[in-house]
Structure 1
Amino acid sequence: MVYQLDFDRITKFIEKNGKYTFRRRSVTSILPLPTREPERAKFERGFSSITGGVIRKVYGKNIVINTSDESIEAILANGKFSDESDKAFFENYLKEQIKELHLGKVTNLNELERIPLTENTDERKGEIDLIHFFFDTFIRNDEERLREILKKQDDANLLSEIMALTVATASLKNNNKASYGSPFPQLKEQFLKDFENLARNPSFLVDNISLLFVHYTFAAMSQLILQMNKGTRFSQHELLPVYYILQWEKAAKWRDSYKQGNKLLMGEMDGFFAHEHALNILGMNTFSNESNQFYHDIYCMLREAGTEAEQDYIKSIYKWLKEVYQVKTNIDVEEYSEEKTLEMAFDDLIHAVRKGISNEINSRYLKAFKEIISKFFRKHGGSLGTILALSQEHLLMLVAVSITEERIELKQLWKELENRGVWLDHHSKEEVVKVLDKLNYLEKKSDSGDAQYVKYIL
């Protein structure tokens, strides 16, 4: 077995009209963030469009649906009406129901999968990418488990069946091939358990399913950003702290939510697009056909193959940098020496790639991430800028899914939140206690308050 980069394959990947292009998503995809501004999702219906698309994909249906006037006309043509006034009344009723779907408003889960994507065809691409990311990260290979949970919630009625007929499938077929990997198996299992737990209360599930989906989307993206920058020390089973504040709290520089929240993520996102390109280069090699391999995956594979294999691969990275990348981009690169380790080779490749990527690409890539924060997690911290924050609704949803028994100890709640990617400092924890106490979800077993429990909410 030869252990080196596949130069011919990489050349086909990077060349476009004789020029070097910083492409991505050939063998590895990391984040669902577009670099073309028109494709950025604006979340005009909150996250419900993405949630609806995910549910359709769970059932193997087309992601894109159409709720145009033509689909209504098809229903009316097959209907029987006593006179034109009855027909007009029913037509207006259908249009009003579709308008509610366009606003992301649903009253039961059966309606959820009929929420269409945005009408803007460019922005729709950004929504579709988010759907693939969520599905691959949290659901793929467990579709039946989700379908069983949803089946128990089946509350279809005659109106629902009629509304289903107004939804015509579009030409874009469901993508059955995985676009992304599932890098955090424990986070995935946590989501599946939370979804199952939430389904114990159907009305609560309907009201909070999109909030649950956007929470896990952002948690996965945040962890990917932090872990990817650790290179070969990427951990699939250990979540790194990301601190939040509560929306009604006052932000301050000394708070963990300032230093280890949005500020941390923005710093880690600086030049992050280089990983998107570099990992595709590294993944085009002579010894593996697997997709979505990160630095640690390649590292482990080569360690298993032996020292000679690892050294051959290291040499090929520097050979490619010197003979291909530098020649085509005129960017100076590091040269090979016997002291170079695999981690150093990865770092040198990333550094070289980072110097070649334009500010425009980096900026548009970052803006797509900021859009999610701004829409769902942003607290304006004045001179401190954006602070990651949880609304009371978001907090209570997380508390609800964290308790599967009659009650849990308060100190266990903090661990449960961290298992879902949320860290709170001491001051935020005090605010959580105040909220739970006010809503009568807190149970004290002693006057000293040492033994405190959070009651089951669902």
Structure 2
Amino acid sequence: MNYKAYNDKFTLSGKYHDAFQGCIRIVPFITNASQSIYDKTCGVIGVTGEFFRLWQGSEEFVQNVNQDVVEPVKIYLKEKMDVDSISKIEPIVSDIMNINDSFNVVDTSFFKYVPVATSSEQGKRLNQKFQRGQRRIAEYIYSMVGADLQTKEHSFKESDNLFCRIIHEALENKAIPLSRTKDNSVEYYILPQIKEQFNRDFIWLLKHRNNVTVRYIPLLLHFYACFSMMQIIPRLDFKNQELWKTDEPLVYYYMLASEHATARSEAVLQGWSQYMKEDDLDLIFGRIQCLDILNILLDGPVGLYSDLLARLAQQDNFKEEKDALEELLAKYQTQKREALDSRQNAKNSLAKELVDPHIDSYEEFVRKLYYLCTNNHPAEYKTRFRRSLLDLMRVKLLENRRGYWVLTLDDEMLLFMIALVTKERRVKIDEMYRKFADYGICFNMATRSLIEKYLLKLNLLDRKSDSGEAQYVKVFL
């Protein structure tokens, strides 16, 4: 056990420091939520731009189209064209690349030039908070990128369009190399199955026509950020060991954005709130801190509870570690309570009863540490982490209907998800619904009926016979 590493992380200037994610990073949120904001006012395009900069290695982005695109193109063309020809091309470049005073992504290779979202109506400090929030989400999604996506084989396809190639080469000539190296980049823990699934789906989407990838990559990235959060956060609960298995995703009921929610809807009873109860979301900080301490002690990151307990089971020196572990529990309890007691809202943060640090096994140590972390919990952190998660989800997939949080798919996301789960192959409708479960998505019969009516309306649902006994879906992006 690396007790020195624990003391180093939880001591600052000789005093107790309430460290968070010092060893294993699980969520792209910070304790001071006001310094990092990401919500639906940002959209999904800014995160996509930052993700591509991390993936492809650049820090250059387009803030002003005329200055950052038109001028580089003019410089690039000076050696290839005469002045009159360039003057004719200049307004075309400006018209195509400028949409509502924003950089228009007409080619996949242009994503890395998209800046994180800001607003001219917001102050500089608030804009910086929005930028930091989007960058954290982008770093979280980038942590899903595996070795296959790092190869040139699966990189984006350069457009055959002469116009796009000119823009691409002009911007590449002034691109700034990425200063963030692999050693200092932020990496989050992603469930192995989610990471594998993301790489498979991302590679599949990259093989499409350029205009398809431009349209749907932002949706894919946002969905996976939410999907990953929805899969890992319920598994932070040490008491609910039934959720520890990660070979199959947790399934939530969704509804269509056009549907009405009632108190008895499956989307209300077995949707978001099935695994994301408010009381559980209030414990995100404490649960992650417990995991962080265990990973620090084991020179991690090792993983979640199943991985940690498996590692501890391999050690046969509990008797030698027993006294030190009991001392750590007592020390953590004392220092944490003293730190919280100095806060004005300490009454809402401290456990009513003290924990006896005596332990007889590694598992008992984990159980008591979990209790201390989750029951001696800064009160203000409860709402901060819950709010940060809700802000992320509400960008696209989560809505509040009559006081109920429900997961929803709008028409665009529905068609994209159908194409994604079926990989655009002609499949039976029942098989399509089974494939949705691989993405943690389930629909009740009423929602299924609405989906099928919508697909029929778009001529995307084939019936083998008039009776409709066998129906096939065919959705192409």
TM-score where L is the length of structure 2: 0.81
Verify the 8 A CA contact 2:20 2:289 in the aligned structure 1: yes
Structure 1 counterpart of 2:382, from 362, 371, 387: 362
Asked if structure 1 preserves the Cα contact closer than 8 Å seen for 2:452 and 2:461, the reply is yes
Q: Report if aligned partners of 1:190, 1:420 keep a CA contact under 8 Å in 2.
A: no
Gaps of 5+ in 2: 119-126, 339-349
Can you give the 5+ residue segments of structure 1 that lack an aligned partner in the other structure?
none
Secondary structure of 2:18's aligned partner: coil
The partner residue of 2:334 within 326, 331, 342 is: 326
Distance 2:131 2:319 in 1: 44
Query: Alpha-carbon deviations, 1:157-216, whole Å to 9, x = none?
Result: 21333344565568x524455633554333333223323333334322211110111001
Aligned residue for 1:256?
266
Q: Paired residue for 1:143?
A: 149
Cα distance between partner residues in 2 of 1:410 and 1:398: 14
Report the alpha carbon displacement of residue 236 of structure 1 after superposing the two structures with TM. 2.7
Following TM superposition, by how much is the alpha carbon of 1:60 offset from its aligned partner in structure 2, in angstroms? 3.1
| Distance in 2 (alpha carbons) for counterparts of 1:260 and 1:311 | 45
Instruction: Look up the SS of the partner of 1:376 in the other structure.
Output: coil
Is it true that 1:24 corresponds to 2:20 in the alignment? yes
Matched residue, 2:210: 202
User: Residue 312 of structure 2 is aligned with which of 297, 302, 305?
Assistant: 302
Aligned to 1:188: 195
| Structure 1 residue 311 displacement after superposition | 6.2
Distance 2:465 2:389 in 1: 45
Aligned residue in 1 for 2:56: 59
Answering whether residue 43 of structure 2 is matched by residue 46 of structure 1, we say yes
Structure 2 letter corresponding to 1:407: R
Q: Following superposition of structure 1 onto structure 2, how do residues 4-23 of structure 1 map, counting pairs within 5 Å?
A: 4=1, 6-23=2-19
C-alpha distance 425-166 of structure 1, shift in aligned 2 (>3 A): farther
Q: Are residues 113 and 323 of structure 1, via their aligned partners in 2, closer, same or farther at CA, if it must alter by over 3 Å? A: closer
1:88–1:319: structure 2 CA closer, same or farther, 3 Å change rule? Answer: farther
Q: Does 1:161 align with 2:169?
A: yes
Higher relative contact order (CA 8 A, sep 6+): 1
Q: Which residue of 1 aligns with 2:282?
A: 270
One-letter amino acid of the structure 2 residue matched with residue 302 of structure 1? L
Q: Deviations over 1:314-333 (max 9, x none)?
A: 66443212134314534654
What secondary structure does 2:28 align onto?
A: coil
Q: 1:348 aligned to 349, 352, 368, which one?
A: 368
> Conserved in 1, the CA contact under 8 Å of 2:426 and 2:473?
yes
Q: Distance in 2 between matches of 1:360 and 1:426?
A: 41
Q: 1:163 to 1:404 in 2, by over 3 A?
A: same
Q: Is the 8 A contact 1:30 1:180 kept in 2?
A: no
Counterpart residue type for residue 144 of structure 1: Q
* CA root-mean-square deviation: 3.4
Compute the displacement of 1:102 (Å): 7.3
Query: Match of 2:253, SS?
Result: coil
- Say if 2:458 is the partner of 1:439: yes
More deviation, 401-410/30-39:
401-410
Secondary structure of 1:443's counterpart equals: strand
Q: Note if contact 1:20-1:329 (Cα within 8 Å) is conserved in structure 2.
A: no
The 1:252–1:147 alpha-carbon spacing in structure 2 relative to 1, beyond 3 Å, is farther
Query: Equivalent residue for 2:226?
Result: 218
SS class of match (1:151):
coil
1:322 partner letter: A
Does 2:223 align with 1:227? no
SS at match of 1:244: strand
Helix, strand or coil at the partner of 2:292 = helix
- Does the residue aligned with 1:235 lie in a helix, a strand or coil? coil
- In 2, distance between residues paired with 1:83 and 1:262? 60
Percentage of pairs with the same residue? 19
Q: Shift of the alpha carbon at 1:150?
A: 1.4
Q: Which amino acid aligns with 1:281?
A: I
1:82/1:153 Cα in 2 relative to 1: closer, same or farther (>3 Å)? Answer: closer
Q: Measure, in 2, the Cα distance between the counterparts of 1:184 and 1:154.
A: 37
Task: Using the TM superposition, give the Cα deviation of residue 421 of structure 1 relative to its aligned residue in structure 2, in angstroms.
Answer: 2.2
Rate the CA distance shift 1:115–1:417 in 2: closer, same or farther, 3 A: same
Higher deviation after alignment, 422-431 or 71-80: 71-80
The number of equivalent residue pairs is: 444
Please, which of 394, 400, 404 is the counterpart of residue 385 of structure 1?
404
Distance 1:94 1:456 in 2: 34
Normalising by structure 1, what TM-score?
A: 0.84
Aligned to 2:293: 281
Deviation at 1:52, TM superposition (A): 1.8
Say whether the 8 Å CA contact 1:33–1:365 is kept in structure 2: yes
Deviates more, 1:74-83 or 1:325-334: 74-83
1:402 aligns with 2:432: no
